[in-house]
């Protein structure tokens, strides 16, 4: 690919935010997924939930207005809303494990073509812990992955099989990258390329993806 094509991180977040439904309870992972909160579609009411015990997360505070006691699961300072509620971490995970969260948007290191997800550690690198990702992928109704299409070294992140420690087996429903969108109607189907970012051609995606996927008309239209 030559020049600037594809989506920026904010545009990726906006595309993922278009999947939010009115009345949804939503959990946002750290990194790019936190930007989804800035792009909730007009007229859509969602309630953001955090594993550390906060329901009803407000926007990021302005500089100088931060409250160090108000943080999300990624240790970022957030604001509260008039209807925000607080509770123990055990109650928070009861919501997640009990299937009361409609959607989670998470980052990823790798996603396999069968929906396996690896997003919590790289062997040999120090991490703070696995966080709530394993509970989220096991208990949340729908999982959207928001990630750059390729790693910093150019290697594929949507792959035939995950090589990193797994977070969950067959748990991903949609993948939004800076190049495109892959989705599947259920967790027994093959991922399908459903949308290309501006300026991106099918051959750009195919050349940077090692996973098997269906393309249909998108492959024909852009070649």
pLDDT, tens digit, 9 for 90 and up, residues 5-43 = 899 999 999 999 999 999 999 999 988 999 999 899 999
Contact 47, 25 (CB under 8 A): yes
Put residue 159 in one of left, alpha, beta given phi > 0 → left and psi -120 to 50 → alpha: beta
Which pair of tokens denotes residue 50? Answer: 């955090």
- Residue 1: inside a domain: no
How far is the C-alpha of 155 from the C-alpha of 122, rounded, in Å? 15
Supply the pLDDT for residue 121. 82
- Residue 204: inside a domain: yes
What's the number of domains the chain is made of?
A: 1
- Residue 89: inside a domain: yes
Length of the chain, please?
223
Whole-prediction pTM value?
A: 0.93
- Residue 4: inside a domain: no
How far is the C-alpha of 183 from the C-alpha of 103, rounded, in Å? 15
- Residue 2: inside a domain: no
Provide the residue range defining the domain that includes 179: 9-222
- Residue 130: inside a domain: yes
**51 annotated active-site:** yes
End-to-end C-alpha distance for the chain, whole angstroms:
14
127 confidence band (pLDDT: 50, 70, 90): low
Q: Cα-flanking dihedrals φ and ψ of residue 95, to 5°? A: -60, -45
Question: 218 in helix, strand or coil?
Answer: helix
pLDDT, tens digit, 9 for 90 and up, residues 36-62 = 998 999 999 999 999 889 999 988 889
Residue 202 belongs to domain with CATH number: 3.40.1080.10
Question: What does DSSP assign to residue 124?
Answer: T
- Residue 141: inside a domain: yes
75 confidence band (pLDDT: 50, 70, 90): confident
Supply the pLDDT for residue 223. 47
Q: Which residue has the higher pLDDT, 4 or 146?
A: 146
Give me the catalytic one of 19, 51, 110, 113. Answer: 51
| Residues above pLDDT 90, as percent of the chain | 78
- Residue 152: inside a domain: yes
């Amino acid at each position: 690919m030559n020049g600037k094509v594809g989506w920026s991180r904010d545009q990726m977040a906006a595309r993922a935010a278009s999947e939010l439904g009115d009345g949804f309870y939503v959990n946002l992972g750290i990194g790019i997924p936190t930007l989804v909160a800035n792009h909730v579609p007009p007229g859509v009411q969602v309630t953001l939930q955090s594993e550390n015990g906060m329901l009803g997360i407000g926007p990021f505070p302005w500089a100088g207005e931060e409250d160090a006691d108000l943080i999300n699961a990624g240790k970022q300072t957030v604001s509260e809303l008039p209807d925000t509620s607080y509770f123990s971490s055990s109650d928070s995970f009861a919501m997640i494990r009990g299937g009361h969260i409609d959607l989670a948007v998470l980052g990823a290191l790798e996603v396999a073509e069968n929906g396996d997800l690896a997003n919590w550690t790289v062997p040999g690198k120090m991490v703070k812990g696995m966080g709530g990702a394993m509970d989220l992928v096991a208990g949340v109704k729908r999982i959207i992955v928001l990630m750059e299409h390729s790693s910093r070294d150019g290697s594929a992140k949507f792959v035939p099989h995950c090589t990193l420690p797994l977070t969950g087996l067959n748990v991903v429903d949609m993948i939004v990258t800076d190049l495109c969108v892959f989705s599947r109607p259920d967790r027994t189907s093959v991922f399908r390329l459903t949308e290309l970012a501006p300026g991106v051609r099918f051959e750009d995606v195919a050349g940077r993806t090692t996973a098997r996927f269906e393309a249909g008309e998108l492959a024909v239209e852009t070649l």
